[in-house]
Amino acid sequence: MDQPPPDRSKRPWKFSTFVYSSSILFLLLSILLLGFTSTDLYKTQSLRFTFTANRIYSYLQFHAGKPNSISETLNSASSSSHCVLWMAPFLSSGGYSSEAWSYILSLHHHLRNHPRFRITIEHHGDLESPEFWDGLATETKELAIEMHSTQCRPNETIVVCHSEPGAWYPPLFETLPCPPTGYEDFLSVIGRTMFETDRVNPEHVNRCNRMDHVWVPTEFHVSSFVQSGIDSSKVVKIVQPVDVAFFDPEKYEPLDLIAIADLVLGSGVKNSFGFVFLSVFKWEQRKGWDVLLKAYLREFSGKDNVALFLLTNSYHSESDFGNKIVDFVEELDEEEPEDDYPLVYVIDKHIAQVDLPRLYKAADAFVLPTRGEGWGRPIVEAMAMSLPVIATNWSGPTEYLTEENGYPLGVEEMSEVKEGPFEGHLWAEPSVDKLRVLMRRVVSEPEEARVKGKRGRDDMVKSFAPEVVAKVVADQIERIFDEKVRR
Ligand SMILES: *[C@@H]1O[C@H](CO)[C@@H](O)[C@H](O)[C@H]1NC(C)=O
Ligand SMILES: *[C@@H]1O[C@H](CO)[C@@H](O)[C@H](O)[C@H]1NC(C)=O
């Protein structure tokens, strides 16, 4: 969601790819959770090959119309034979991964009380990252292993392909395909995806139309997908949950920002600020960091006692964001204010997921003048933390950001995407002048900002809490099972 498709050479999918990818998952799981030593590596490998071979064998046997002994034994112990195979980049960082985890975890809790179907998961769509897996909570890892080992009969399984459509069967790059053996073998196949521009390219349109259903996160996507040529009867809006129990401002003390940030502009290092703006984004043009810096530097100066903290990470391999910002400011060629630039800090260290709420807690407002978002996860996290947010009134954020719960930032015009996989598409050009007005207003009208921030959390709890969204997803899946069984 938050990134264009991985830039990888096109390689035709081979059977060995399936074995390989699926094996890596099990290897990672075994080593990292069960703590196998390196001398156990050989054992682990034979174990994973046995394991993977079994799963593939079960799919292949099914193809051949033979009964499947593995699945049969496991199924007989379960209350329901109905099964959902959820395939996503579970072992990578990134937007699709965090979104998939949030669905899986909330569905898991929901199904405890309403065991209407079982869930099994499979990694697909991106490269595995041991660092990411390492950072997950132990109980999450245990749950992943448990879910991964659940066996399902393909003819009783709904598959969710939660990834960019290039990873769907047949994949355009090397990954375990989704659905694993093509579209015909499963009860139903759902594609979950999203884009950040005004349209879906023709290749992706075809891939979406091969699915039985296409789940997208917002009304914005429903209309851009349908306008691009995707069968409207297939497109369903399923919003994204935000963990409002984890992102709860009552539970945290602020993080010490100065200790983790580097000063890039301005001087007179302080240990307290009049007002702290926070922005969180990957370093790419889409995120509108140029718009943010222009607006901030034109509107404020040293005497305003404000600070802007940018938590960013690299899009490819570039870093050194401090110098990039200084270069950008030099190119702007604007006069330095007499009383110095307003403070700009960069945080480019990895902030562990568990520390994110404390990061938001340390800010007075969140700002992201993005050019386009699939959903905008940091925006909803900030809202759940009761921060007033300023974000572009286009694409993902239009699903949840209103004048009542935040500051929707007006768009100047649509502009052409200049590079990358979406070149030639359009996205939004947020207004620098309007951003200046909103940033000034959130500083000078603290009571209004507080009320909007609180309303933001209330709206997140009401409409996007995990249990709320899990019910929507479960009902949708149940409806598909009902349709299929009635036939
Ligand atoms: C799926 O296939 C198995 C064995 O091939 C069969 O016993 C079962 O009834 C089938 N389920 C459905 C829903 O068709
Ligand atoms: C946001 O966009 C909607 C429609 O796209 C429009 O009706 C609304 O006035 C906009 N709000 C602002 C603050 O620009």
Q: Taking 50 as the threshold, does the pLDDT of residue 415 lie above it?
A: yes
Per-residue pLDDT band at 338 (split at 50, 70, 90): confident
Same fold? 15-241+467-486, 249-464: yes
What residues does ligand 1 touch, defined as CB less than 6 Å away? 67, 153, 155-156
Q: Measured in angstroms, how far is the CA atom of residue 486 from the centroid of ligand 1? A: 15
Q: Compute CA distances 49 → 22, 46, 52, 142, 178, whole Å.
A: 9, 5, 5, 20, 20
Q: Taking 70 as the threshold, does the pLDDT of residue 130 lie above it?
A: yes
What single letter denotes the amino acid at residue 101?
W
The pLDDT > 90 percentage for the chain reads 62
Of 375, 419, 381, give the one whose Cα is nearest residue 398: 375
Q: Give domain limits for the chain.
A: 15-241+467-486, 249-464
pLDDT in the model for residue 26? 58
pLDDT in the model for residue 2? 46
Q: Which has the higher per-residue pLDDT, 433 or 49?
A: 433
Q: Taking 80 as the threshold, does the pLDDT of residue 217 lie above it?
A: yes
pLDDT in the model for residue 268? 73
Contact predicate 375/291, CB 8 Å: no
The average pLDDT across 172-187 equals 91
Residue to mutate (ligand 1; options 63, 80, 153; most atoms within 8 A of CB): 153
Per-residue pLDDT band at 77 (split at 50, 70, 90): very low
> CATH fold of 249-464, please?
Rossmann fold (3.40.50)
pTM for the structure as a whole = 0.85
Contact predicate 275/281, CB 8 Å: no
Non-local (6+) Cβ contacts of 215 within 8 A are 160, 190, 191, 192, 193, 236, 237, 238, 476
pLDDT in the model for residue 29? 60
Non-local (6+) Cβ contacts of 224 within 8 A are 195, 198, 199, 200
Residue to mutate (ligand 2; options 198, 224, 393; most atoms within 8 A of CB): 393
In angstroms, the CA 91 to CA 23 distance is 13
**Is the minimum distance from the CB of 410 to ligand 2 under 6 angstroms?**
yes
CA-closest residue to ligand 2 atom 6? 393
Q: Which two tokens stand for residue 90?
A: 């579970």
CATH 2.60.120 fits 15-241+467-486, yes or no: no
Q: Taking 50 as the threshold, does the pLDDT of residue 20 lie above it?
A: no
For residue 262, the tally of other CB atoms under 10 A from its CB is 13
Per-residue pLDDT band at 12 (split at 50, 70, 90): very low
The average pLDDT across 86-103 equals 91
Q: Compute CA distances 332 → 265, 283, 293, whole Å.
A: 14, 19, 10
pLDDT in the model for residue 49? 44
pLDDT in the model for residue 74? 40
Q: Taking 50 as the threshold, does the pLDDT of residue 236 lie above it?
A: yes
In angstroms, the CA 367 to CA 91 distance is 29
Per-residue pLDDT band at 315 (split at 50, 70, 90): low
* Mean pLDDT across the chain: 85
Residues in the chain: 487
Q: Which has the higher per-residue pLDDT, 60 or 152?
A: 152
Q: Measured in angstroms, how far is the CA atom of residue 189 from the centroid of ligand 1? A: 17
Q: Measured in angstroms, how far is the CA atom of residue 476 from the centroid of ligand 1? A: 22
In angstroms, the CA 294 to CA 433 distance is 9
CA-closest residue to ligand 1 atom 10? 155
In angstroms, the CA 370 to CA 140 distance is 32
Q: What is the pLDDT of residues 374-398, one digit of tens each?
A: 999 999 999 999 999 999 999 999 9
pLDDT in the model for residue 34? 52
